[in-house]
Amino acid sequence: MEVCLPGTGGVIPLENRWLTCCWVEHQGKALLIDCGEGTQVALKKAGCKLSRLNTLLITHFHADHTAGLPGLLLTLGNSGKTTPLTIIGPMGLHLVVAALTVIAPVLPYPLYLLELEADKPGKLDADAMEIRCLPLKHGIPCFGYRVSVKRKPIFNPQKAKQLGVPVTLYHALHAGQTVTLPDGRMVKPEMVLDGERAPLSICYCTDTQPTDGLTEFARNADLLICEGMYGDESMRGKVKEKGHMLFSDSARIARDSGAKRLWLTHFSPALTAPEQYLDEARSIFPQTEVAYDGIRIKLGQKIK
Amino acid sequence: MEVCLPGTGGVIPLENRWLTCCWVEHQGKALLIDCGEGTQVALKKAGCKLSRLNTLLITHFHADHTAGLPGLLLTLGNSGKTTPLTIIGPMGLHLVVAALTVIAPVLPYPLYLLELEADKPGKLDADAMEIRCLPLKHGIPCFGYRVSVKRKPIFNPQKAKQLGVPVTLYHALHAGQTVTLPDGRMVKPEMVLDGERAPLSICYCTDTQPTDGLTEFARNADLLICEGMYGDESMRGKVKEKGHMLFSDSARIARDSGAKRLWLTHFSPALTAPEQYLDEARSIFPQTEVAYDGIRIKLGQKIK
């Protein structure tokens, strides 16, 4: 599972910072969360392969999360896409997509639109990824997303050795196939595997004020991507009014949820050097990073 | 009259080339022609002051000329605009603007929408600029625009000298004011001016195939900005199908119209080095330039 933030900005696209969005890729298929103005350029710059994109999740309908939609849809078409694109978002999605595609009326692939029930957490699947959503606390309906992928159980080479399995058959067994040894014996995967592992999970939560459900939603995530609209604690008075969070709010959620790491994103355009507030966030949750356009991580390395 | 192309690309915004648009500024007021995805960033990068923008002209409703609209409108609002913005474009404009602003539903300034009569040339005024439009030949209704500003008549310092006008009064006379000399004589502007001068004019014509009317529309323009979707003559077969032009087509229009200079813009994304086709265009019309993002010119220098 590979995760990338092609953009990390909030409100308006800047010359040196694209609007926040999140690319998640697994087994050659990808989903994108949010699509502000310029996202198609940011994706290209970050090396995200549009041909792999099957699912688009929209957090909410503010322009900095949606205005790139017609451009991206057209570019997908120009790139030869013919398979369906599923777009998932809050209620009203079909109206917003219909409106924005008035300048992209003909696409060479079908759109599947899926509206999330208002104010309710939900769960659905896209390719081999499980998607959960959580209503957030913003000025308009807004959802956080948790994307999870199953992991293969741990392969136990000692068990395989004791059974006399040749090394050349390890891969097939780990992939879940029953194999026949040269002497005719059959070995089933469960005979050499060490049981289930927790899925890999990332959480993407912007735009929002702190909400109780957020900590539980991000529970033990391998990566929590959370908004960092403001770094300066002096902005505390503004966050409620604007429906956003401080770095420290996100750090506390990461700490309390048991997330393994935190990436801050959706920086205010006025926040030209977000890293200056990093130390304070790290004093709350050490595994905090100030994300930057193109930041990328591969979660869940293979067991050797 | 100052003219700038913040972007020069066609079809899709690229990392190193914004979508084509044209900024025209005169006496502290500005108009913008076209607004593709990312135009607000391109404007900022090119140093165009959004606070001066009162008029937006749309050539046609393809996404590479319109998708930046909601973002620009919101950013104008965030920048403190309260005065009206007039948007002018083909019939259907009010529907397109209504649709695209579904993600920008509340603006702190009024929009005035003005739809151009289908298939007809037209003339209107915006601030101190005269705007003419010409139907072009593209897949959908599309207009070229000619923007003109009046110029002061030429000031004749010899006439002023003969009348004994002190140099300190030259500026007032040139600006059209009657002045009183120290000896009590009154001098009227027409006594020291050398008659009218032709207005300054720029033409912006994209997207289009060559059409007869185009040459007359661009007659004697100080600057013709014309599309250069393709440089390579081997693309000749494609231009009709796609509704575009080759560099050489635009150069011929510039030559035949008597335009003073030609800027090529709206390059195909595949055209990574448009300057390689410049020599050929210059062999037809020597005052051709391959435009680049941020290209800028001040037309009509003051007469000293």
pLDDT reading at B214 higher than 50: yes
- Tens digits of per-residue pLDDT, A90-112? 999 999 999 999 999 999 999 99
What are the structure tokens assigned to B173, written together? 């006379």
Q: Which residues of B are catalytic?
A: 64
* pLDDT value of residue A10: 97
pLDDT reading at B302 higher than 70: no
- Smallest CA–CA distance, residue A199 to chain B, in Å, is 36
Which of B223, B83, B213, B79 is closest to B143 using CA atoms? B213
* pLDDT value of residue A175: 86
B9 touches chain A (CB under 8 A): no
* pLDDT value of residue A87: 98
B45 touches chain A (CB under 8 A): yes
A26 touches chain B (CB under 8 A): no
> Which residues in chain B touch residue A75, judged by CB atoms under 8 angstroms apart?
12
* pLDDT value of residue B271: 95
How many residues are given for chain B?
304
Q: B166: burial class by Cβ within 10 Å (0-12, 13-18, 19+)?
A: exposed
- Which position has the token pair 């909030």? A10
- Which position has the token pair 């205010």? A268
> Which residues in chain A touch residue B12, judged by CB atoms under 8 angstroms apart?
40, 71, 74-75, 78
* pLDDT value of residue A303: 39
ipTM of the predicted structure? 0.89
pLDDT reading at B268 higher than 90: yes
Choose, out of A12, A18, A242, the residue to mutate when testing the contact with B (most B CBs < 10 Å): A12
Confidence grade of residue B238 (pLDDT, cut at 50, 70, 90) = confident
Confidence grade of residue B301 (pLDDT, cut at 50, 70, 90) = low
**Residues A229, A268 contacting (CB under 8 angstroms):** yes
Return the ∠ at Cα A44 (arms to A41 and A46), rounded to 5°. Answer: 110
Confidence grade of residue B304 (pLDDT, cut at 50, 70, 90) = very low
- Below-50 pLDDT ranges, chain A: 303-304
Please report, rounded to a whole number, the percentage of residues in chain A having pLDDT higher than 90.
87
Q: B191: burial class by Cβ within 10 Å (0-12, 13-18, 19+)?
A: middle
Considering only residues A297 and B198, tell me which one the structure prediction assigns the higher pLDDT.
A297
* 8 Å CB contact of A96 and B103: yes
Choose, out of B11, B12, B50, B73, the residue to mutate when testing the contact with A (most A CBs < 10 Å): B12
B99 touches chain A (CB under 8 A): yes
- Tens digits of per-residue pLDDT, A22-33? 999 999 999 999
Q: What is the pTM of this model?
A: 0.91
- Smallest CA–CA distance, residue B62 to chain A, in Å, is 6
Choose, out of B37, B50, B72, the residue to mutate when testing the contact with A (most A CBs < 10 Å): B37
Write out the DSSP string of chain A.
Answer: -EEEEEE-B-SS-BTTBPBPEEEEEETTEEEEE---TTHHHHHHHTT--GGGEEEEE-S--SHHHHTTHHHHHHHHHHTT--S-EEEEESTTHHHHHHHHGGGS---SS-EEEEEPPTT--EEEEETTEEEEEEE--SSS--EEEEEEE--PPPB-HHHHHHTT--GGGHHHHHTT--EE-TTS-EE-GGGTB----PPEEEEEE-S----HHHHHHTTT-SEEEEE-SB--GGGHHHHHHHT--BHHHHHHHHHHHT-S-EEEE-B-TT-S-GGGGHHHHHHH-TTEEE--TTEEEE-SPPP-
What domains are defined for chain A?
2-150+198-298 (3.60.15.10), 157-191 (no CATH)
What are the structure tokens assigned to B214, written together? 């185009």
What's the rounded mean pLDDT across residues B165-176? 92
Confidence grade of residue B177 (pLDDT, cut at 50, 70, 90) = very high
Considering only residues A303 and B37, tell me which one the structure prediction assigns the higher pLDDT.
B37
What are the structure tokens assigned to A90, written together? 């809050």
- Tens digits of per-residue pLDDT, A158-194? 999 999 999 999 999 988 899 999 999 999 999 999 8
> Which residues in chain B touch residue A14, judged by CB atoms under 8 angstroms apart?
41, 44
